[in-house]
Every structure is written in C-alpha cells, then in structure tokens.
Chains A and B, each alone.
Chain A
C-alpha cells in the first residue's frame, strides 16, 4: 500500500468531541516512549494537542496565502479580473477594485490574466505552524488566525512542511478536524490509515456513517475506535459488523479519564488499561498496512 517507510495514521471523526485529541495525543505519547514519533495537529480552527504535549518550542513560522493587491496606477478598469474571479473576491465598482481577502482561493487567475499587470500577488497571513519537541516526540501544530475562514490552505501547507522535514520519522499521527467536508479531506490526504473515533450514541453513529462514506470515497483503509463505551447503546457495533469495519478498540467510559482530560493531562500512563489498548491499535494497523 505505502512506499514510504513512515506509517501515517490519521485520526478523524464526523462528530466533534468524540475523543480525537484524546486518542491522538495519547497514542503519540505512548509510541514516543520507544521510537521517534510525530504528532501533527491539523484541527487548525481549534488546535488542542499542545495542551497535552508539553515541550520546548523549537520553531514558529507564519503561514501565508497569496492574494492579489490592486495597483491603481496600472489599472485600466477593463473588468476582466472581476469576471474571471469565480469566488467574487475581486469586485469592480466603477473606478474602484475591491479585494475580499477571505474569499480569495489564490488561483492567480485575476493576477495573471490582467492585461495591465495591475494585480500583483502578495503574501497575506492566515495562521502559523509551531513545532514543539519533547524527547522523542515532535508536535507540529497548525493554528488558523481568528477571522480567517479557510482552513484548507493551511492544512496543505502543514502537510508540505511535515513531508519535507520529517519524512524519516517512523510513526506519524495526524489529528484531523471534525466534520466531513473539505478540511477533513485535505487533512487525510496521503495518510496510510484512518482511525475514526466515535461514541456509542445516535449522534455518534450518524456522523460515523458520514465519515465512513467520506473515507470510502477517498479509498482509505479505516478502523473504528469507540470512545466512552457504555454510555449509549450497541448500534455503532452493529453497524460496524454489518459494514465489515474493524473495531480497533473500545475505550470504556471512565470518570477518571474525563477528569484527567479536563485537566489537560495525558492518560496513557495513568489509566491501567490504556497502554494495552494503544499497543493493540498500533499492532493491528501495522499488520494491515505493512504487508
């Protein structure tokens, strides 16, 4: 399946708050006890992994997207830019061109098709990427600026950076954004395996189905982790059975886990059964991928 040496695991869910970050941070910390591990926080709208993974900040880099900037002195007001922009980000009103930075997809059409070269592209900050190191664990966090609407370009940039810098790290875990739309698709790109975290409730099941559909469309091998097992009913398990989806683990509902999580603490070394659950998840995925 994969040609790279690294094992890239995405951790996703349709529904928010099912335990993506809980699993990502603990799985990463657990793996890093024995080998170099990379954890990438792609939930750029609300990144949370840094709360659980403390370490030394090694690097912070600002991230930009390219947007057109109007050079009034060159403009002939032909209106071509406004016609060419499918996102209504470049609007001409008489003798004025207005650019809506938030709507721009950085396709360059307005800029490169402008006969007067009156729309040069410039950098515009959308967020930052931070690297935190704790012994064998490297956390790369993406953080979208508040007010910036598009997560996808930032997610792409993180992938690119990580690909270049950390190719050799054997275990790579990607904590994905919730939902099933474009940010999730961008986040799972180029990963070898996707873990879908859900909870045994009707909401959990409904959103799990959507996430499974998405992953099937992307042709990703998947496995399910049921978090807070015991709070709801057995419908999620029945669904997995019918659809032949492997359940990698069931994490029982435990007030101690909720308590540690609320305090921003890792649980893999505090809750007795977590170690074996995490080891089992890694073993199962490796067996599936590395054949």
Chain B
C-alpha cells in the first residue's frame, strides 16, 4: 500500500482539484483521505455519503466549581495561557484560551477545578459517488489539535485500505508547514507538490520541501497555471532540478478547473486536454511507486540471501 500526499505550502494552488482527479483516476484502487480538516473541500467534488460518523475527542477544558472555590488566586497565578480571570466576583475560564494542561486542577487546594474532555470534531467514513472509500473530518470551529485529527483520519484510511487490499491512499493535505501538515507527512511514501509560478508560491514551496526532506520522502511537483509567468516557471523548474524533485507536469491556466468545480466534478471527468495531462501525472506517480516496490523486493531478497 502506498500513501500519496498532496501538499503545496501556499494555499489555493490546486491541491484539492488535483487530489480529487487522482482519486477518480485511481478509482477503486484507492482510499481517499481529506486531511485538510479545518477547511475540507474534497467532499464537494467526490460527494461522500457520510455513511459512518464518529465523534472526535481531543484535549480537555478546565471547569471551576464555584461552590468549592475559595478564591485563593493560585490558579490564575500559574496559568500560562491567561485562561483564568476574575470576572463578576468569580474566577472564570476562558474556553478559547484554555489549552487543557490541567496545571490548575493539580494546584487547586480546594479541588474546585476539574478537567473535561472536549469534543473537537467529527470523523466520517464514507462511500464516494465513485464507489470508493473516503475518510474525512470536520474540526470544530477554532478547535485545537488538528494534527491529531489528521493522524486519526490517516489511520482510519490505512485500516480501511489494508482491510480491502487497496493499492493507494490519496491524502489531500492542508496549506502551511505546521502540525496538520507534519501529521499528514508521517508515514507517507510520496508527496505530490502543487505549485504555481509566483514569487510567493516558490518561497512557500521551498519551505514545505525543507520539511519534506526531514522526512526523506520522495516528491514530484506539478506547476499549475504555468503560463501565468513563464520566467517563474523556469525558475521553479531549475529549483526542482537542484533538489531532485521529479517534475510531473505543467498545467496551463484553464477555466475548466472552476467550471467543473461548480458542477461538482473533477477535471478528468470532462473531455479536455487537461484530462490527458492528469492521466499522465498519475501514470508517472505510479511508475515511481512501482520502482520503489521493486527496491523493497530486492532488499527483502538480499535479506533472505543472508540467512
């Protein structure tokens, strides 16, 4: 089983459109995981049925029992998150600031504070309109621990993929380089980077690739809207070359990206030159994964020889 993660650093370069297209091309060989849990969009294209829902609990919140509180101030003193303040003659918890560390609970001499688990989102296991399995989630507003939820989405996807003997897991990641991205990289076999020819996107690409390097994962890159700035496209290509990132394809600006999105479809489902390009991308990615598989085989054989 191969885990393919789609990332970009910069937002809005076309991650989800590409990921959903790959999901269509992979058909029943893949389980799809939407790991952009705080702004998930994949469901708009793949129409999952939200067949199975489970609540996701993560982190705790302090609650003060005012009958027991002696107003000794200790909790307010030790809280590093400014989550406890004296309002209306009572100590109160600011739920947005509380990070659930539980220090106040430990230090309260009258045991007036207790920690309560917080529901931070929902996790869904669905069947898409294509018949494939999709694991996705919705993080509650402003909730913490999106990294943990991403890890959960991925582990459910893995479970489902290995149970049904699927070849691929296609993971749509989130922008940035922070905790949800780190979680989506953990355990991945291949990263598809989607970028565009702008100073910002290249800057962000370099940062995300520096992170990917730490994980030692092989990466390929798609330059979307390459014709917007040919000079920058050339610059990106030479960067890819320097870093040994496989150049997967150039995609020209195409209004069909938006048009198909409005129809709730992916770009490979309507006849257009784009279809061929994406099919080629998918072929290229697979060929690189197969090489990797063979490498593993050779490795195993060598090991067997040693015995």
Contact = CB atoms under 8 A, between A and B. Distances in A.
Contact of B10 (A46, A182, A213, A263): A46
Interface stretch (B162-170, B257-265, B276-284, B297-305): B257-265
Contacts of A43: 176
Given A151-B178, A181-B144, A108 B78 contact: yes
B177 A46 contact: yes
A46 B176 contact: yes
Nearest to B11: A16
Interface in A260-276: 261-264
Interface string A159-184: 00000000000000000011111111
Contacts of A290: none
A258 B210 CA distance: 27
B141 A84 contact: no
B142 A178 contact: no
B143 interface: yes
Interface residues of A, number: 57
Contact of A180 (B38, B60, B203, B207): B38
Given A203-B261, A210-B141, 20 more contacts: A15-B41, A16-B39, A16-B174, A16-B175, A43-B176, A46-B203, A46-B204, A86-B59, A105-B99, A107-B81, A107-B101, A179-B174, A180-B39, A181-B143, A181-B144, A182-B142, A217-B141, A232-B261, A259-B228, A262-B198
A99 interface: no
Contacts of A184: 142
Contact of A207 (B39, B80, B144, B179): B39
A48 B204 contact: yes
Nearest to B197: A262
Given A46-B207, A105-B99, A178-B175, A149 B147 contact: yes
A185 interface: yes
Contacts of B174: 16, 179
A46 B175 contact: yes
A109 B197 CA distance: 47
B291 interface: no
Contacts of A207: 39, 41
Contacts of B238: none
Interface residues of B, number: 59
A207 B197 CA distance: 24
Given A21-B200, A203-B41, A232 B142 contact: no
Contacts of A144: 177-178
Contact of A201 (B106, B175, B258): B258
A14 B40 CA distance: 10
Interface in B73-107: 78, 80-81, 96, 99-103, 106-107
Given A108-B78, A147-B211, A231-B258, A185 B179 contact: no
B26 interface: no
B229 A259 contact: yes
Interface string B172-216: 001111110110000000000000111110011001001100100
Interface of B: 9-13, 16, 37-39, 41, 44, 59-60, 78, 80-81, 96, 99-103, 106-107, 139, 141-144, 146-147, 174-179, 181-182, 196-200, 203-204, 207, 210-211, 214, 225, 228-229, 232, 255, 258, 261-262, 264
A124 to B, nearest CB: 15
A218 B38 contact: no
13 contacts: A16-B11, A18-B11, A18-B12, A86-B60, A113-B103, A144-B178, A147-B211, A149-B178, A181-B37, A181-B142, A182-B143, A202-B261, A264-B198
Contacts of A18: 11-12
B41 A45 contact: no
Nearest to A45: B176
A181 to B, nearest CB: 4
A146 interface: yes
A17 B177 contact: no
A181 B38 contact: yes
Contacts of B146: 179, 181-182
A214 interface: yes
A180 B41 CA distance: 13
A280 interface: no
What are the 6 A-B residue pairs with the smallest beta carbon separation, nearest first? Answer: A16-B11, A17-B12, A107-B101, A264-B199, A45-B176, A262-B198
B289 to A, nearest CB: 26
Given A15-B12, A201-B258, A207-B41, A108 B103 contact: yes
Contacts of B211: 146-147
Contacts of B229: 259, 262-263
Contacts of B261: 201-203, 232
B281 to A, nearest CB: 20
A231 B12 CA distance: 14
Q: Pick from A15, A18, A150, A182 the residue with the most CB of B within 10 Å.
A: A182
